[in-house]
Amino acid sequence: MTSPTVLLATSNPGKLRDFAGAASRYNVTVANIPHFSSLPPVVEDGATFEANARKKAESYSLAVPGELVVADDSGLEVDALGGAPGVHSARYAADQPHAAEANTDDEANNARVLRELKEIPEPKRTARFVCVLAAARDGKTLATFRGAAEGIILDAPRGRNGFGYDPLFLFPQISKTFAELSAEEKAQYSHRGSAFRAFLEWYKKANW
């Protein structure tokens, strides 16, 4: 029996690995939307993760009529920075992250966070990864799902897996950063894995 396939609206290979790691235990296959790179990009100008996720899912689902499309918006919230970088996580190294039209380099984003936390002691470097998924079909959001992972921002990167802020994000329960985990291991603990498991439970019950 062929496993069902969930279409993802992302060009980020790291996200695709994360979702595949979470889906593997459910006998579900994840795949990018066909010809996704040729679709007009959606401007992520929402004030919240949910707003951006819904906007992307609704827009990209119009490219594949009748199909269920899942889009996510996710990022890092650092308490000592007032919740930044937040929805601007992928563009944080830009001079004006809220106005940047393109994502900035992961290393540059990490470097900015480290600079801003330079004088902050570890007990006060608490942070969380947040992910909101939106599932849409024919331009309409059917459901949203939220996942979060609480951790500490280190003063130097650790690990070579993952992407984004993973090398800086220590998950205390296992004393490892997300960049020190395989995709399958990361899915057990991560914000994206948590949100995607909630989606998959809904997906299975809805019998898509």
Burial environment of residue 98 by CB neighbours within 10 A (0 to 12, 13 to 18, 19 or more): exposed
Return the axis-axis angle of helices 191-206 and 13-23, rounded to nearest 10°: 60
Which residues are paired to 152 by β-bridges? Answer: 126, 170
pLDDT of residue 22: 81
Could you give the domains of the chain? Answer: 5-206 (3.90.950.10)
Six token digits for residue 102? 């393109």
> Looking at residue 208, what is its pLDDT?
58
Q: Is the pTM of this model over 0.85?
A: yes
Residue 2: the pLDDT is 59
> What pLDDT sits at residue 76?
98
Strands (E), the chain: 5-8, 29-32, 68-78, 126-137, 140-153, 169-171, 176-177
Catalytic residue annotation: 73
Written as tens digits, the pLDDT of the chain (208 aa) is: 456 788 999 888 888 888 888 888 788 888 999 899 899 999 889 999 999 999 999 999 999 999 999 999 999 999 999 999 999 999 999 888 777 777 899 999 999 999 999 999 989 999 999 999 999 999 999 999 999 999 999 999 999 998 999 999 999 999 999 999 998 899 899 999 899 999 999 998 886 5
Sign of CA dihedral 158, 159, 164, 169: negative
